[in-house]
Amino acid sequence: MKERVNRVEGKRVEGKLAMVTGGASGLGRETALLLAREGARVVVTDINEDAGQAVANEIGEGALFVRHDVADESSWATVLEATHRHFGSLDILVNNAGILIPGSIEDASLEQWRKIMQINADSCFLGCKYGVGAMKESGGAIVNVASVSSWLPINNYPAYSASKAAVAALTRSTALHCRKSGYRIRVNSVHPDGVYTPMMQASAPGVDPKYLLFNSDSNRGGRACKPEQVANVVLFLASDDASYVSGAEIKVDNAILGMGL
């Protein structure tokens, strides 16, 4: 059995090995950097090779970048083999990769639906499948990035909402499977509202961030938070501080459920 490394004060994931999909930008980048600062070695995966390598370079020798098509099963096997060869056994997996394509139920095409489901939902299924396989001997934590749209209706993003609802259901099922199988693997999902990332910026071109970001003094109607605010929640779920948290849906939405849209 793999020897577990005790947490050092101030380093919440000291000695652990983490993989972050979609780690080249946005929430994935912030999560990878935060996990590294908190003591983890980090495997950054993405299809954007230049940006992904830049994140790994920023972290330094405790990081590895691997090109990764999260919707392709063979790519998962390749990435995990490279991870094990370079660093050893995986402790933390953050299934973060995702896309956002607008289109109402009347406007969206079946092709768009399938693409979103492949990248957002299929990738999470593959991540959980291969992540459990990699961690079932020594334990670990899987954090799946979902969205408030998994339960809050958003009329112009039905495919995205459905994909994130699938992520939430998959999380609950995988967590229960791990408990009943006796695996020391915790599986949780994080459900942000808007996160001010390149994906959000692309959906609101030219809009000044001051109109999007929540500010209790100047913009209480703002729906967006900063990536690091979500990354800190991912860190908690990945760390031993959340040792009795599994199958949970953690909303990082600033009470939007109570406000509606």
Catalytic-residue membership of 160: yes
95-133 in b/e form (b: 16+ CB < 10 A) is bbbbbbeebeeeebeeebbebbbbbbbbbbbbbbebbbe
The token pair that represents 61 in the structure block: 């020798």
Q: Answer yes or no: are the C-beta atoms of 125 and 81 closer than 8 Å.
A: no
- Considering 130, 160, 211, 244, which one is annotated as catalytic? 160
Which are the catalytic amino acids? Answer: 160
